[in-house]
Structure 1
Amino acid sequence: MIDMNFLVWEEIIMNKKIRSLLIISLTAFVFGCVSQQEMLDIQNRLTALETQGSSNLTSYNQVDTRIESLESQLHHIKQSVDLIEKQFREQYAGIKANSNTSRHEIRQITGRLEEIEYHLKKKFNLLKQQKQTPSEDNVPVNQIFERLQMIENYLGIETNERKSSTTGRMQASQSQQSSPQTPEAEMYATGKTAFDQKDFETARIQFVNFIKKYPKSKNADNAQFWMGEIYYQEKWYEKAILEYQKVIETYPNGNKVPAALLKQGMAFLELNDKTNASLILKELTKKYPDSPEAKLALKKLSEL
C-alpha cells in the first residue's frame, strides 16, 4: 500500500519536471525565433488588453452602481404607489360612506317634502269643498279670523291698512269733486277689502298681481304679509310660513317684519313644531325687543 502511494507521487513529480522543461524549452524557442520588435508589439498589445480590461471592469462597476440606484428608485416608487393606492382606497371608502349618508338624507328630505305636499293638497281640496258647500264647519275659521283681528288691532298691525281701505271706500262714495284713486292704491284697496270680507280667493289674486305689478310700492310688504295671513286663515300653515318668510327676506326694513316673525312662530306652533317656533320667537324678542309683537312672543315662549 505504501509502495503504491510512493509510485503515484513519483509519477506526479516526474510530470511536473517534464512540463517545466517543456515550458523552458518553448520559451527559449520563442525568444530565439521572435525578434525584439515583435516582442515589443506583443507587450504593447498585452498592455492595451489589460487597459481595456480595466476600463471594462470600471464600466461594469458603474453599470452595477447604476443598476443598484435604479433598483433603489424603483423600490421608492413602488412604496409611493402603494401609499397612493392605500390613500385612494381610504378616500374612496370615505366618499362612498358620505355618498351613502347623503343618499339617506336626500331620501329623508324627499319623503318629508312628499308628506308635506300630500297634506297641502289634502287641505287645499278640503278648503275647495268648504268654499263650494258653505256650512257650519266654516264657523271656527271665522272665529279664529276674528281673534286674529283682535290681536292685530292690539298690535296696531292693521291700523294703517284699514284706514287706507276705509278712506278708499269713503272716497269712492264721495262726490265727483274728490280726486280718484291711483290704479296702485285701488288694486291694494280692492285686495284688502276682499280680505276683510273673508273673500280670500279674490284677495289672493289681487295681492299677487299687486306685488308683481308694483314690487317697489310702499304697500308691497303689506300685500305680501296679507298673503301669509290668507293661508294662515285657511290653516295652510306650511304655505303661510313661506309667505311670511318672503316678508322677512324681501322687505327686511319694512314695518311688517316683526308681525311676520310673530305669525311665523305661531304657524309653527299650529304644526306642533315647538323647536322652530321657539327659535323664531326668540329671534323676534332679540331683534325687536321694544315692539308689541315681542311682548306677545315672550308670553308665547313662557307657555312652551
Structure 2
Amino acid sequence: MSIGAKLKEAREKQGLSLKDLQEKTKIRSKYLAALENEEYELIPGEAYVKVFIKGYADYLNLDGAQLVNKYNQVKEMERKEQEKEEEETIIENEKNEKNSSILHNKVFLSLIVVLLVLLVVGFVVYNVFLLNDSKNEVNNIADKNYNIDITADKKEIESEDELETYVIVDNDYNEVEEVSSQTVNSFNHRPVQDETVSKNLDSKKKIIKLLVIDRTWLEIVVDNKKIFTGILDKGEVKEYSGNDKLSLTIGNAAGVKVEVDGQDLGPWGRKGEVVKKEIKF
C-alpha cells in the first residue's frame, strides 16, 4: 500500500477529518491532503515533505520513520528513472546530430564537385574562345605599332616651340607631385584629440553571507522580494546585499550559518527543525 493510502486509511478508521488533524498536528489541511494524494510538489520543499509525513503518521499511531524511509526509496526510484530517460534522450540527440552531420557533409561535397566542374568548364571556354581572340587582337595592335614606329623614326623636331611644349608638360608634372606631397604631409600631421572617460563608483553595501553546513531546504527573501526557494547542499555559499533586511525560512535549522561583517550567526536550532530568521542590512 502506498504512503498516501496508508495515511488516509488510518485517518478514516479513527473518524478524523483533515480539519481535525490540522488543529492537532498544526499542519495545514491542504498539505495533509497533498500527502494523502501523494502530490508532494504542492509542499514547499523536500524537508517539509519528510517532516509532514513523520508528524502525520506519528499522530495516527503509524511508524513515521518507516514511512519516511519508504518515501526516500520512492524518490530514489523516480530519480533513477529520470536519469535513464535523460540518458536515452541524449543518445537519441547524438544519433540525430550524427545523421545530420553526415547529410551536411554529403551536401557540402556535392557543392564542391559542382564548383569544380564549373571551374573546369570556365577554364576550357576561356582557353578556346577568349584567349584566341586576345592573341589575334594583340597581333593586330603589334602590326599597327610597328608601322607607326617606322614613320616616327623618320620624323624630327623642326622648331624650338615643340621642345618648349615638352618642357612645360614636365614642369606641370613636378608641380603636381609637389602639391600632392604637401597634402599628404598635412594630413599625416593632423592633431589627434584625446578622450577622457569618467566612471562613477557605486557605494559599498553590507554583504550577508550564507554558509550551508548541512543539506537543507531554504527560502530566501531580500527586501520583501523572494530570491531563492529550494535545496542547498553542504559547502554551498550564497551572498546577498540589500537596503532593508534578509528573511530566511530554514527547513533544517542546524544546516545554515550566517556571516555579517565578520560576525558569525547561527545555527539557530536542531537538525530537522524549521525556523524563520530576519537579519538587517
Q: TM-score, length-normalised on structure 1?
A: 0.24
The structure carrying a bigger helix percent of its residues is 1
The structure richer in strand per residue is 2
